[in-house]
Structure 1
């Protein structure tokens, strides 16, 4: 019973948070919100890349090679396909294969 109440509360909170911008900005979205909508996705991706690579040691074997190869693959696949999901998936699979089978 407690779990069901918790799930209902979390679901309602999520719905309210997602619906709030549409309720607040019914007529016209302010320019600063439009600006943030254009800038934040790239900033968030940049922060995620830094976070993922922060613990890579360039002085210990394998010297960051799996991360470098997988990151390069993500960049190449993104340039060729323009599909973020495919790029990230290919980089993740490549990294896992490199770590498990090669290095």
Structure 2
């Protein structure tokens, strides 16, 4: 691809992303209240996404091979502990990720 084609692809992808992000706000802002199904999804999707991330992160862990899942288990404990303490998804996710990276790059090399 030449430079023009690359810029066109980037523009189209960015525009598509922006439309899918802003369309719900534009559509539902004119109305007063959100439909009950959207309110329900807004309440249950954060927990569902976190569950999906946990399953995806732990799917390839083998307790029979070194390091026996220890970094993952410790990072999971840190993530859950900080989330129970602070009740903030981003803080707990970043803390768990940081803990995991430190463990696999320094302790369990």
Shift of 1:22: 2.2
Runs of 4+ in 1 over 3 A off after TM superposition: none
Ranges in structure 2 where 5+ consecutive residues have no aligned partner: none
Q: Which residue of 1 aligns with 2:9?
A: 6
3-state DSSP of counterpart to 2:63: coil
1:61 to 57, 66, 80: 66
3-state DSSP of counterpart to 1:58: coil
Shift of 1:70: 0.5
Q: Which residue of 1 aligns with 2:25?
A: 22
Q: 1:80, 1:70 → 2: CA distance? A: 15
| TM-score, with length taken from structure 2 | 0.85
| TM-score, with length taken from structure 1 | 0.90
Number of aligned pairs?
A: 103
Shift of 1:21: 1.1
**Which structure 2 residues correspond to residues 41-56 of structure 1 after superposition, within 5 A?**
41-56=46-61
Shift of 1:75: 0.9
Shift of 1:101: 1.7
